[in-house]
Structures are given as C-alpha cells and as structure tokens.
Structure 1
C-alpha cells in the first residue's frame, strides 16, 4: 500500500508539473511572467481564487469550528474565507484604473504613500505568505502520517520541489493553469471522500443536537475569524496578481464572486462534516480532528483519494504563494532575465527554512495568528490609499495605532503592558477577538482622523 500511495501521489504531482510547464511562455516579457496582464476570463479567475485559497487548512479548521462552536461560527469562517476575493472584486477596478501597469500590493502602497510604506507592506506580505507556506507543508506532513505509511518528509519535499519547479519556470500563467484543474479535482475528490464517509457514518443517537455555544461567544468567534482571515488574505500577493491578470473589470468582478461563492460552499460543506461527526458520537481524537475521525469509520481504500485531495489542496495554495513571493521581488524591475533569476533564487532561499520548519511537525498556528494580527493592524490604512485625503503620515500613524490597539485590550483588562503583549501573541494558539478588534478600530480611527485634519498635498508620487 505505501508503494501504491507513493506512486499515485507522484503521478498527481507530475501531472501538475506538466500542466504548469505547458502554460509557460518562453522569452515573454517580465510583465507576462508576473501578472499575465489582461488575459484571464471570469471562470479561470473564479477557479483560481478557489484553488489558491483552499489549502489543507480546510480539513482541520472548519470541521473543528463546526464540531465545537457550531453553525454560527462556521458561517463566519466561510464568509471570512471568501471576503478577500469579494473585496478585491469590488475594489479591484479602482486599483486597475489607478495603476494600469501595476504588479503588486507593494507597488500600490508606493503609488499611494511612497517607497517607505511599500517596503513595510511588502515585508508584511512576505511574512504572511511564508507563514502560510509553512502551515500548508506542515499540514500535508501531518495528513500523510495520519492516512498512510509514506514518509511525511518525502511528501513535504515532493510538493515543495514540484510546485517550485513549474512556478519558477512558468510564472503566474503556470499557477493559473494548474489552479483550473486543481479546483475541479478538489471539488470532485471532496464530494467522493465526504460522500463515502457520510454513508458509513454511524446512526445519529436520539439525543443528537447541533454543536453550539452561547450566541454571544459564537458571534465573537465568527467576528474574530472574519477579521483575521480577511485582513491577512488581503496581504496575499497571489490574489493581487489576479487583479491585473483579469481580462477586464467585468471578468474580475464575476471571477471574484464565483471564487467567493464556491469558497463559502466548500468551507460550509467541510465544516458541516465536522458537525455531523460530533453529532454522531464518533471519537474525534486528541487533539480533535473531526474530518479524519469520519474517515476512521470509512473503508480503508478511501485513504488514497483523501490523501490525493490533501496534496491537491496543498499544491494549489503553495504554487500561488511561491509565485506571489517571486512577483514581489521582481515587481520593481524592468529587466526580465536578471529579475526573474533573482526572484527564483530568493524564492528558493525562502523555501529552505519553510521546509525545515514543516519537517519538524510543529504547530505554526500561533505564528499564523500573530501574522494575521499584524495584517489587521495595517489593512485599513493600506486600502484607504485611493482616498485623496490620505497621506503617508496618516497611513503610518494608523498602522502604529493598529499595533498599539492590538495590545491595549489585554493591557486594560490585566493591568500591565507585558500582559497586553502576551495576550496579543495568542498564548496556546487560541484566536481571541479583542486584539483583532482593537487593531482594526484603532488603525481606522487614527488614519481617518489624521487624513481629515491634515489632508495630503499633491505629492510627486501621487
């Protein structure tokens, strides 16, 4: 069985590599490598948003939220997962008009506020995407250990090397080409795996009820997830690339709604499986993993399509992240050969520590939450860049206020700055609302207040 699983996983990765390499345009301009500008229709974009946003995290987090917090919090998670696409679909046409030749979130920040803010925003974006990469590769290692006897390290390295190969050679077009097929594959596999697992689910006990917590607590979890996931994913350079890859504003809008709608359905479906597992009385494990608890009741052969599903989910998100990091490195250069070589080496260098972290099997949830909080602290000042009254002072002050606002709730409740800093670092890896809400409210109030009080002059970079 290990040899069969290894062969099937190797074949899947080989197919992804072939699809990506076939999509490359040898000798094309740098702009085509980074943005595939004005070339993609609504369906391709929608499937790409779905595939690039869906990672192995959907097999862990939504089922656990559904099993222990209930449908209200799960709805918040589904909305938060889709909202970044909708925001970029609505806001993207204005970005395209403001920066018709733009390539990255960093260039957007520079056009609005200058080079200093660009470096800050690019650093946050790279930090977030590196955390995302480590989380995805760690997850595929854990899933491999759960479902097979294949060495987890072999799968981690296989996914990292394969995706790096075709994204380094083919750029964004390679990622878009594989996303289209990966989206259909993950939908099909999810329906097969979920359907078979449900058929073999034990009969519901008479006292079965939907998992729930008090409404106030469920709303708090839902709001926390919406803020954290939306703020962080708006710093995902892979999603910004697709703003300029869209054929026109209509294709961008329709693709964003398609990607957002299908994302809500997928997250709700997987989370619903977690709720059903809890209601049926199946042992959820320690730590609890409701989705995989369902598989323990299913036929043994189901482990193979479940593992292929996991590899597809991870590959579809990892290739987008790798290409997003590379595009941030080359976005400011006009020399194709030198810029692309530099981007490949930088991405490869960044992947080394990411893979090392993933091979340790450590939890990266706490680091992920800290990166999410950093994004929440500055997302509003960045997105306000198209407002003519905004200035670099308002943006920077808003970002600093956002970080202070993240610490303030814990400081006020526990009476010390140290306690506030600890609370904002999420001890135990548990997401809580006050730091995120404090960051969002403080950054917005300070940015808007300074912009109204001291509106921007017509600076050269505008």
Structure 2
C-alpha cells in the first residue's frame, strides 16, 4: 500500500522541518547552561500548555492505548484517560509549591538529595532515569515498528533517522528547542488525531456499523463493569500517576513557565487535553475489534498493533500517510523532551562532581550527555521487540517512591530514613504480586518458601499495593517521628548553575549529604554558617 521510499521520504521531510524549526527558534537564546537545561521563566500560558500536552503524547498512544482498548474495552478507556489526566492535575497543585520552596531549582533529584539524603537520592535517581530511558527506548521502538509494519522500512533506518534528527535540535537548543517544537507539534497532532479517528470510523461504516461489529465480536468490551477491564483501568491510574511524579520532564517545565499562575493554568489545560486524547486513542482499539481481524489471544495475537490492523482493513493510502505523519510528530514531541530531561539530571550534578566547572564546560557536558542518551536509546530500540514489561517495572518503582517525594514538599516531619523505608516497603508489597517476566516470580517464590501470592495479570495489586503502602507508611512514619526539617534549606542549598558562589570541592553527589537522616535534620539558626555552607549544593539537581 505505502512503499518504503514514500514512507522514508515523508519521514525525512518531516524530520528536517521540525529540526530546522527547533534550531531556528532557539538560536541566540541559549547563552548559558541555565538556558540549555532550564529555560527559566521563558514560556507563557499557551506554550506551557502546548509543551505539556505534546510531551505526554508519544507514538505509544497509537500502540499501547489501542491494545488496552482491544483487550479490556471501555473500562480501559476510562482508566487511561484518568491515568494520564490525574498527574497533570496533581502537578497543577504541587508545581507552584515547587517553585515556592525551591525557586532556583532544576530537577527532582536535587530536591530529594537535600530533603532526604543520599539513600533516597540514589533510589529516586535510578527510578527516574530508568523510567525516562525506557520511555525513550519504547518511543523509538514503536516508531520503528510502525514504519516497518506499514511500509517495510528497516527498523534501524527509522530509529537512526528519528534519534539523529531529534538529537541535532535538542543538543543545540536544549529545553528551549524542545518547548518551541512541542508547540508546533501540538497544533499538528491534535487536529490530525481527530481527523484520523473520524476517517477510520467513517471508513468502517460509521458509528452504528462499528457498534454492531463490537457487539458481535466481544460485547464485554462495551460493559463498563467488566471486572478485568475495571481492574486494569484502576491499575493504570496508580501506575501512571506514580511514574509521572518521578518524570523530570515535568519538573523542567515547572521552571520554564513564566510564573506559578502559568504553571497552574498550563497543567490544568493539559489535564483536560490529555484525558480527551487518551479517550480517542484507546477507543480506536475497541473500534478495531469490531471492524478488523484483531486477535486478542493465542498464536495469532495482534492486539499490540490493533490500530494498524484497523488501518489495513479500512483506510486508503492518504489516511495511512496521515497516520505516519502523526506517529512521527508524536515520537518527536516526546523524544526531545526525554533527551533534555535525562541530560539535565546529570548536568545539574556536575558542579559537585567537577571542581568549579565554568559555564562552557557545563554546556558541553549537557550536550555530550544528550548524545550519549540518544545513541544508547537507538541501540536499545534496534534490539527490542517489546519493552512493555520493563515499562511496567519502571512504573512499579515510581508508584513506590511517589508519596514521600510529594509529602516532603509540604511537611517538615519526614526523615530521610522514613522516606526510604516507606518507598522500600511499598516496593516490597508491590513486587509480591508483580508478574515478573522470565519466570522470576516463581524463582522469588521458591526462594521464600512459597509464601508469595499469585501474580496479578491485571497489575492492580502490584501498582495499588506499592502506591497505597508507600503512602500509608509515609504518613504514619511522619506522625510518629520527631524530625523537623528546615524547608528553607531547599532554597538556600539549591541554586542556579550560574551562581558565582564556588561549588564545594570534590566528592560524589552523595558526599555532601550522608544517607539517611543527616539531610533531613534541621540546621538551627545559631549553628556556625560555615558548617552549613560546607554542605551546600551549587545549582545542582
């Protein structure tokens, strides 16, 4: 239907246009490492909302969301919609708080290091990097699979082209380039997604014919009380909320917005927009079951590409080309945000790793890290066929650490040890019923003497167990503890990267903040300032 030459030509033209736009719109605006990784106070309400919407929408909405709809029906539609909307609503409340207590911050991990110490910092760093890197690899894997399925384009060509072009403008313009292209991509993606969905439904015979086909194929998909669907939908809410709260992408954009009111408005707009997008994307999977030969079990399982099976059955070449353009815009909008976010996590730590690096060194470091991330993600995507289980494992880790992260922004009474114990407790409860791949659950169960419950294929028990256990432990340990962390330390110790104050000499990121309670203990006003300054962070994450 669509030749590989046509698909590659479309890809190159699209990539060149967005790359040129990213470079052009960020030219002359990146004068320091702060501009590169923070773009502080540079985005108004419209651009903030647009970049929040674009950064959440990856090519996964054409793969994972329709797959969930094909498997679990309208209950999964509701779960995905709430799951993607709720984190944006939460950030509309905590975003202004983050700007208030850490006015010159950059990243989630720098807050965790000062607030909770080295142990929690190490855990959150691993969780955040793992989640975003898996997300990035999944995006490149998804777009490579889409082009291969539709037009037989070799996977390495698509992954290399997309990763290479996005690296060009993200490495040059950093977060500013990402936000600029996100705005354009949002203006393209939203109407294009609506047009494609409408065209597919009409090509399938219209809403009445589609409804009849779903009823004939699997009427339980239209039942909002279908128990497996409800369980899976609720699991998605816990999984996505936990994962997004450790996503550096959102912390960057909190500081890129030009004020707290802009942050609140932007995230509220994204709450509605993301929810609507997920309803449309997930419903496409339900439509596919009624209008195409979608198999949800057995050796012929193809629900993972349900939307593309639907395209093959109903759409003409023009619609297919529109979908490829949509897929490219989706993957670029997410990949550039993840490149910038992953690079910023380490770049903001460089002042503590190097001895008083200058701004040029930090900028070179940020760009080098962006390149390393891009190359690694491309290589992983070339070997991957599905990273869904790894994605869910990263979600489990996020669900376990989310509660203490948020709680510490508002309460003084949670020590580093308590925060780490809460996160690990949640992780243990969640892991007990997590359906680990490669038979690992059976291995763990045998090692523990057969005490583990059966794994939950709908993921409700692991995700809800991790999130709720961590939350309960966080609140209880804070109430019984007697720590009184000085929240003003966050603004004193987390500073801009271009702050003239020299960075502390030597040591690893953990050196200045001992693991456990040392970072959570209060610094009395009458303590000699030199002692506090010796532990200060110089504009790190």
Alpha-carbon distance change, 419 to 16 in structure 1, aligned in 2, over 3 angstroms: farther
> What is the CA distance between 1:112 and its match in structure 2?
1.8
Please give the per-residue CA displacement for 1:19-47, whole angstroms capped at 9, x wherever unaligned. Answer: 11123245512222211112211211111
2-side partners of 1:405 and 1:26: how far apart?
Answer: 47
TM-score normalised over the length of structure 1? 0.92
Pairing 1:14-413 to 2, within 5 Å after superposition: 14-24=16-26, 25=28, 28-202=31-205, 203-204=209-210, 205=212, 207-208=215-216, 209=219, 211-212=221-222, 215-280=226-291, 282-283=293-294, 286-288=301-303, 289-296=305-312, 297-332=314-349, 333=351, 335-386=358-409, 387-409=411-433
1-side partners of 2:453 and 2:384: how far apart?
Answer: 24
Structure 2 equivalent of residue 417 of structure 1: 448
| Structure 1 alignment gaps of length 5 or more | none
| Structure 2 alignment gaps of length 5 or more | 352-356, 435-440, 486-521, 524-534, 537-541
SS of 1:23 mapped into structure 2? helix
> What is the CA distance between 1:212 and its match in structure 2?
4.4
Structure 1 equivalent of residue 532 of structure 2: none
The answer on whether the counterparts of 2:171 and 2:371 sit within 8 Å (CA) in structure 1 is no
2-side partners of 1:184 and 1:105: how far apart?
Answer: 29
> What is the CA distance between 1:368 and its match in structure 2?
0.8
Alpha-carbon distance change, 274 to 94 in structure 1, aligned in 2, over 3 angstroms: same
1-side partners of 2:185 and 2:286: how far apart?
Answer: 26
> How large is the RMSD of aligned CA atoms in angstroms?
2.5
The answer on whether the counterparts of 1:51 and 1:316 sit within 8 Å (CA) in structure 2 is yes
Structure 1 equivalent of residue 513 of structure 2: none
> What is the CA distance between 1:152 and its match in structure 2?
2.3
SS of 1:102 mapped into structure 2? coil
Please give the per-residue CA displacement for 1:155-212, whole angstroms capped at 9, x wherever unaligned. Answer: 1111111111111110110000000011111113212322222221043448554614
1-side partners of 2:478 and 2:19: how far apart?
Answer: 48
1-side partners of 2:474 and 2:407: how far apart?
Answer: 9
The answer on whether the counterparts of 1:373 and 1:436 sit within 8 Å (CA) in structure 2 is yes
Larger Cα-atom Rg: 2
Which portions of structure 1, spanning 4 or more consecutive aligned residues, are displaced by more than 6 angstroms?
Answer: 413-416, 418-424
Aligned residues: 458
The answer on whether the counterparts of 1:369 and 1:431 sit within 8 Å (CA) in structure 2 is no
Alpha-carbon distance change, 290 to 377 in structure 1, aligned in 2, over 3 angstroms: same
2-side partners of 1:23 and 1:177: how far apart?
Answer: 6
> What is the CA distance between 1:148 and its match in structure 2?
0.9
> What is the CA distance between 1:98 and its match in structure 2?
0.4
The answer on whether the counterparts of 1:48 and 1:259 sit within 8 Å (CA) in structure 2 is no
